[in-house]
Amino acid sequence: MPNTPLRCCSRFWERILAHTIFLSAAALFPHTSFATLPNIVVVYADDLGYGDVSCYNPDRGKISTPNIDRIAAEGMRFTDAHSSSGVCTPSRYTLLTGRYHWRTSLQKGIVGRWGAPVIPPDRLTIANLAKQSGYNTGCIGKWHLGWNWPIDEADMELFLTGGYGGKKDVVATEEHRRAWKQTFSQPIEGGPTANGFDHYFGTDVPNWPPYCYIENDRTIGIPSEYAAVELFEKNQASVQGPALENWTLEPILPELGKRGSAFITAQSRKPEPYLLYLPLTTPHTPLAVNDEWKGKSGLNLYADLVLETDAVVGQYLDAIDASGEADNTLVIFTSDNGCAPYIGVEDLEAMGHYPSGPLRGYKSDAWEGGHRVPFIVRWPTIVRAGSVSEELIHQADLLATFAQIMSRDIPSNAGEDSVSLLALFKGVTTPVRSHAISCSMRGLPSIRSGDWKLILGPGSGGWTEGSEEEPVQLYNLAQDLGEIHNLAEQHPERVAEMKAALETMIDNGRSTPGPVQKNDTQVIRYPISDI
């Protein structure tokens, strides 16, 4: 019999050697009655702040998130979880690959319009790993990790016309339509289906072109017009470009809710387990809130969109529960980075809602508000309901966690920065990692060592203003979570020790035990003046 785990189901029972599966599962989960591997659902919010989830921010929050809170009530909430970056693309790379993004060419910023793939075809992802264990895999939502867009070099200017903001005098010509039809009639390689996902549906980047849905490796429809100027008002879409005629933004989130729920329902009827990655497009701009949610928060459009996002999370939970497999489904909810400051955070704070909670900074920053994120897991047979873990964890850890759950070894050239969280899920309180690295939008790294955090440069490294006179910053987060008191001058030996540890992790091409690996490119060293 092939070494492929199948989910037990009465109509397939006769096809399964029950005792073999039971013994395999018992080796993995010796204290459970599992005879199967779990389904895995990863819900990845976009720009949702640490303090935007009510169970994380009871004292300084005004947004109610009952569905996300429900995951915490029925599972485990982590209070010291981090994304790899204060912005989108690098965090997504790390979550999927278990490798710090700064080992690649993406050491600053994000993938731009029509950018090439960040993940090479030979890089192991959580989806590739799951497929090796017999899982069906799906990705529904925002990709933003690049594609091999089949755009002729001579035509590239026809895809860039318009720039940021909506311009009334930008009109698609026949030359535009010719180039767009030629490109969008072809497969688009290098996306989710090239990285281990059996199925993809989404909008890639909802506030950028192309303004259409993509399914697997093709657009649904051929964009033929420039996105309407009305789409660019009040912090909606940001970059003009090819769009389907009459394209609007409000239907995107509900469609992702519907598609994700349908995937869960359909897969629950199959014998194989499934892994579903749900990278939501919200509450990132566009703040395209549907009418039934407008004004519901009593705060602003961003807060309304958080409520609508929470409702979609509820749809996914309802679909899992209705499938009858909630006990055998690992749900992980987290966010790619902190809340974006340009969505009206000053107004929100004036009304008593602090999107970063007690943390300093926002999206893009090396301060905690940029990359300390909600991270909640529900797995009823393994995770104790209502539990809280204060251990340091990182989104890079998903790959090693899933590998341990699936009883698979990770090759030496994969998951170089990934540590399994399974022991923490089971209630162990011993730290699983002693260090972690998260960077700002401009690449400024912050290094954790226990309670200590070192930022190798001045200011936030992002959009939030701060002192530019401090060459490095050292904080004791156990005593100073708001990063107010820079202790670098008082502890020069600790600064030197943490810098040396970072240098070792760079030179070794990994931060976990194993053979030395190569980084994809020369890693920028900080402070810049040291180079």
Q: Give the model's pLDDT for residue 20.
A: 32
- Cβ contacts of 462 within 8 Å, gap of 6 or more: 86, 87, 361, 362, 363, 364, 365, 366, 370, 440, 441, 442, 444
Q: Is the peptide bond before 286 cis (omega within 30 degrees of 0)?
A: yes
Facing residues of 372 across strands? 82
**Taking 90 as the threshold, does the pLDDT of residue 320 lie above it?**
yes
Q: Kindly state the average pLDDT of the residues 505-527.
A: 97
Q: Kindly state the average pLDDT of the residues 253-278.
A: 97
Share of the chain above pLDDT 70, in %: 91
Please give the angle made by the CA atoms of 20, 23 and 29, to the nearest 5 degrees: 140
Q: Give the model's pLDDT for residue 213.
A: 98
Q: Is the peptide bond before 283 cis (omega within 30 degrees of 0)?
A: yes
The token duo for 279 is 């990278």
Q: Kindly state the average pLDDT of the residues 222-251.
A: 90
Residue 237 pLDDT level (bands cut at 50, 70, 90): confident
CB burial readout 393-426, b (16+ within 10 A) else e: bbbbbbbbbbbbbbeeebeebbbbbbbbbbbbbe
Residue 29 pLDDT level (bands cut at 50, 70, 90): very low
**Taking 90 as the threshold, does the pLDDT of residue 170 lie above it?**
no
**Taking 90 as the threshold, does the pLDDT of residue 397 lie above it?**
yes
Give 157: exposed, middle or buried? Use CB within 10 Å, 0-12, 13-18, 19+.
exposed
Domains detected in the chain: 1-36 (no CATH), 40-433 (3.40.720.10), 437-530 (3.30.1120.10)
**Taking 50 as the threshold, does the pLDDT of residue 350 lie above it?**
yes
Q: Is 12 or 401 the better-scoring residue by pLDDT?
A: 401
77-130 pLDDT per residue, tens: 999 999 999 999 999 999 999 999 999 999 999 999 999 999 999 999 999 999
Q: Are 101 and 517 in contact (CB under 8 A)?
A: no
Q: Give the model's pLDDT for residue 11.
A: 29
**Taking 90 as the threshold, does the pLDDT of residue 190 lie above it?**
yes
* Mean of the per-residue pLDDT values of the chain: 92
C-alpha distances in angstroms, 323 versus 86, 260, 272? Answer: 36, 13, 14
Q: Is 2 helix (H, G, I), strand (E, B) or coil?
A: coil
Q: Give the model's pLDDT for residue 165.
A: 66
